[in-house]
């Protein structure tokens, strides 16, 4: 019973974080229909920013959020403006040029990171990194709990932002019907740039708060992109609350898989979930078939 509860807790805490990871991709996919295979790589960049700030400037990892988020926001905007927006105008004979472009960008980001930081595993260890507290017999990792609450805070802010602010409404309008939004004076090019920046900033935040309890190397992006995709589909494109739901589902699935099936198959399970999600999605099904 104890093992069950422990797994449950672990799954939920991870799930909150996963929700934050998925949210950015869900937003980008929902608003622009862009499948961003560079999502994990962007998170990796955010994590290296955190690592660098901590290691060379001694800044507490959680505070580096104020650096990594704006940095990735800017990077995201540049990527959208100069590499993805141009593609939307062109009728290329290569059908999936947009997805391919994000693959290329992911490769560039990963290799540049490898150049600067090498392929060695890096980590950020603070006083509270390994700290745990207990409720009954269940141990809670301090860092993970903090990450969970920060993630929830971000989700709620995003929810409020999209619902209550003008900019948020413009984003949602573009997501629902780009042409209609255009006619109503929404500058959709600007919106796409901002949205990609926003999505990147969110995943940077996720990376930053993940750093104290995880490890870092350049190729870490791939698996996280896969996870983000699964979360996005499970939760529904463009839905912030859905991303949390998807994140929790994935977090719990991984936690229980690890406990009861074994760590060796971790990757395979992730892949299988990815494939199953691709094939059998609820909600997103129609869009996949008729796109």
Partner 1 sequence: MRKYPPILLLVILILFPLIVRDHYHQHLMILVLMWVVIGSGWNVIAGYTGQVSFGDAAFFGTGAYTAGLFVTKLGISAWWGMLFGGIAAMAIAFPFGWICFRLRGAYFALATLALNEVMRHIATVWESLTDGMVGILVMQTFVSKVPYYYIALGLAVISIVGVQFIMGSKWGYYFVSIREDQDAAESLGINTHYYKMLSLNVAAFLTGMAGALFMNYMGFIDPEVVFSLHDISIMAILVGIVGGVGTLYGPVVGAFVMVAVHEFFRTGFFGFFKGIAALTGSDMINVFAKYVMQAHVLGFGILVVLVILLLPNGIVGDWNLIVKKIFPVKTRGVTG
Residues 211-230 vs partner 1: string with x where CB under 8 A?
A: ------------------x-
CB of 131 to partner 1, least distance (A): 36
Considering CB under 8 A, how many residues would be counted as binding partner 1? 37
Residue 290 in the binding site for partner 1 (CB under 8 A): yes
Residue 274 in the binding site for partner 1 (CB under 8 A): yes
5 versus 276: smaller Cβ distance to partner 1: 276
Return d(Cα 28, Cα 39) in angstroms, integer.
Answer: 10
Contacts with 75 (C-beta within 8 Å, 6 or more apart), sequence order: 42, 45, 200
Footprint on residues 79-108 left by partner 1 (CB under 8 A)? 83, 86-87, 90, 92-101, 103-108
- CA 161 from centroid of its chain's CA atoms: 18
Footprint on residues 134-193 left by partner 1 (CB under 8 A)? none
CB of 152 to partner 1, least distance (A): 29
Buried b (16+ CB within 10 A) or exposed e, 255-280: bebbbeeeeeeeeebbeebbeebeee
CB of 265 to partner 1, least distance (A): 9
CB of 9 to partner 1, least distance (A): 30
Phi, psi of 90 (to 5 degrees): -90, 140
Find the DSSP H helices in 61-184.
65-79, 85-89, 97-117, 142-164, 166-176, 178-183
What is the enclosing helix (H) or strand (E) of 269?
Answer: helix 266-280
Residues 13-52 vs partner 1: string with x where CB under 8 A?
A: ----------------------x-----------------
Residue 117 in the binding site for partner 1 (CB under 8 A): no
106 versus 204: smaller Cβ distance to partner 1: 106
Residue 291 in the binding site for partner 1 (CB under 8 A): yes
Residue from the set 56, 57, 115, 185 that interacts with partner 1 by CB under 8 A = 115
Supply angle C-alpha 145, 149, 155, rounded to 5: 145
Question: Going by DSSP bridges, is the β-strand pair 132-135/138-141 parallel, antiparallel, or unpaired?
Answer: antiparallel
Cβ(15)–Cβ(249) below 8 Å: yes
Residue 262 in the binding site for partner 1 (CB under 8 A): no
Q: Which residue has the tokens 């999605």?
A: 281
100 versus 156: smaller Cβ distance to partner 1: 100
Residues that bind partner 1 (CB under 8 A): 35, 83, 86-87, 90, 92-101, 103-108, 110-112, 115, 229, 267-268, 271, 274-275, 278-279, 288-291
């Amino acid at each position: 019973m104890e093992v069950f509860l422990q797994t449950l807790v672990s799954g939920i805490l991870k799930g909150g974080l996963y929700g934050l990871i998925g949210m950015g991709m869900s937003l980008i996919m929902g608003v622009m229909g862009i499948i961003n295979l560079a999502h994990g790589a962007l998170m990796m960049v955010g994590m290296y920013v955190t690592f660098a700030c901590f290691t060379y400037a001694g800044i507490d990892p959680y505070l580096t959020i104020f650096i990594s988020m704006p940095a990735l926001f800017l990077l995201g905007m540049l990527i959208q403006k100069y590499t993805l927006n141009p593609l939307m105008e062109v009728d290329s004979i290569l059908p999936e040029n947009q997805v391919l472009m994000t693959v290329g960008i992911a490769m560039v980001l990963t290799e540049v990171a490898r150049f600067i930081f090498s392929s060695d595993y890096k980590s950020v260890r603070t006083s509270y990194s390994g700290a745990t507290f207990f409720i009954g017999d269940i141990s809670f990792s301090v860092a993970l709990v903090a990450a969970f609450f920060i993630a929830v805070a971000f989700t709620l802010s995003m929810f409020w932002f999209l619902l209550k602010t003008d900019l948020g409404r413009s984003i949602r309008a573009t997501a629902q019907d780009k042409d209609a939004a255009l006619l109503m004076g929404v500058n959709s090019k600007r919106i796409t740039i901002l949205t990609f920046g926003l999505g990147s900033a969110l995943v940077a935040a996720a990376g930053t708060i993940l750093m104290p309890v995880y490890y870092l190397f350049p190729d870490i992006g791939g698996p996280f992109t896969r996870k983000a995709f699964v979360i996005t589909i499970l939760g529904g494109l463009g839905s912030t609350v859905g991303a949390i739901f998807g994140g929790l589902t994935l977090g719990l699935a991984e936690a229980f898989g690890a406990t009861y099936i074994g760590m060796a198959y971790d990757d395979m399970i992730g892949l299988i979930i990815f494939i199953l999600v691709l094939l059998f999605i609820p909600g997103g099904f129609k869009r996949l078939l008729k796109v």
